[in-house]
Amino acid sequence: MADITEVEYIWKNGEIVPWAEATTHVLSHSLHYGSGVFEGIRCYQSPEDNMSYVFRLRDHMERLHRSCKIALIDLPYSVDELCEATLEVIRKNNLPSCYIRPLVYRGYGVMGVDPTGAPTDVVIAVWPWDSYLGADALENGVAVGVSSWRQRTNNSIPPSVKATASYMNSILAKLEAKEHGYAEAILLNEAGLVCEGTGENLFVVRDGILSTPPLSDGLLEGITRDTVLCLADDLEIPAIEESLTRSDLYVADEVFMTGSAAELTPIGSVDGRVIGKPGEITRALQDRYFDVVYGKVEEYAEWVTEV
């Protein structure tokens, strides 16, 4: 993990403002009650043509709209407007590659659990951000542990909402994992089935078959997860969605996690059970993934938006 690298500008409520002026009141509703939704997106500079591409920008902004709909937050900007605002703030900051954080939250004006009357604030921040779990993670994998904390159920905070409130659970699991010497945590759901990481979806490989938990087990509908399933089909890798237990993680031939921040990060061990170096299927999917995000695969040209 790395500190935020400050840049010059942030997009807020329809305007480009200086980074230091993108502030909010301490009594903003979402700060107290967690009633915000957000996205994580990456912009990549191709090492071949030096062009910059935002990966699956429209899909992320459409998911942001879905999150707002479920959370009953009035989002006053269309998907097209949010996409254009993202490109605008990247260009304004002259960033060849970056992480992108759109955030929709209820601002200052009312207090109490009922948010009625609170204004909606929308920001899009961008900054340089390298590998989420460290420079060595993509190459050699990370050690993870199954958390004692359980992931939310479908009828608590809906997992289809990428909500700020949901990440209190992730924070608790992450801190516990660090205390135990792991880079990341895996959360089970209340039924004891594998759910997801603190900010990532999970995949396992056994006997040449790629598996990932189904959305019905309480995980976020990950865009990178969907990407990997599509790429597996391209590469003729058998892939299924099935419920998994922690024992399935222990005996897997390969395990990796996916997310816009984590990209496609191999897991080298789970609870001290060694999985090993990234395997053949993990490597093949990694290579294909980075070819796609760098705009090198014509059939996925609609997934990349040139800056």
How does pLDDT run across 27-48, given as a tens digit for each residue?
Answer: 999 999 999 999 999 999 998 8
For residues 201 and 220, what is the distance between their CA atoms, to the nearest angstrom? 8
Torsion angle of alpha carbons 181, 183, 189, 195, nearest 10°?
Answer: -150
* pLDDT at res. 137: 87
Token couple for 193: 């089935």
Catalogue the active-site residues. Answer: 162
Work out the average pLDDT over 73-93: 98
Topology given in CATH for the domain delimited by 137-293: D-amino Acid Aminotransferase; Chain A, domain 2 (3.20.10)
Work out the average pLDDT over 86-95: 98
Work out the average pLDDT over 289-295: 96
* pLDDT at res. 77: 98
Cβ 201 vs Cβ 171: under 8 Å: no
pLDDT at residue 2 is higher than 70 = no
- Tell me the pLDDT tens digit for each residue of 110-128: 999 999 999 999 999 999 9
Confidence of residue 206 (pLDDT cuts 50, 70, 90): very high
Domain boundaries, the chain: 9-127, 137-293
Domains 9-127 and 137-293 share a fold: no
User: Which candidate, 9, 18, 17, places its Cα nearest to that of 93?
Assistant: 9
Work out the average pLDDT over 226-239: 98
Work out the average pLDDT over 50-74: 97
* pLDDT at res. 133: 76
**Amino acid identity, position 259:** G
For residues 24 and 186, what is the distance between their CA atoms, to the nearest angstrom? 33
DSSP 8-state secondary structure symbol assigned to residue 262: T
Work out the average pLDDT over 9-36: 97
Mean pLDDT of the chain: 95
* pLDDT at res. 152: 83
For residues 128 and 126, what is the distance between their CA atoms, to the nearest angstrom? 7
pLDDT at residue 132 is higher than 80 = no
CATH architecture under which domain 9-127 falls: 2-Layer Sandwich (3.30)
* pLDDT at res. 1: 52
**What's the length of the chain?**
307
Helix (H/G/I), strand (E/B), else coil: 5: coil
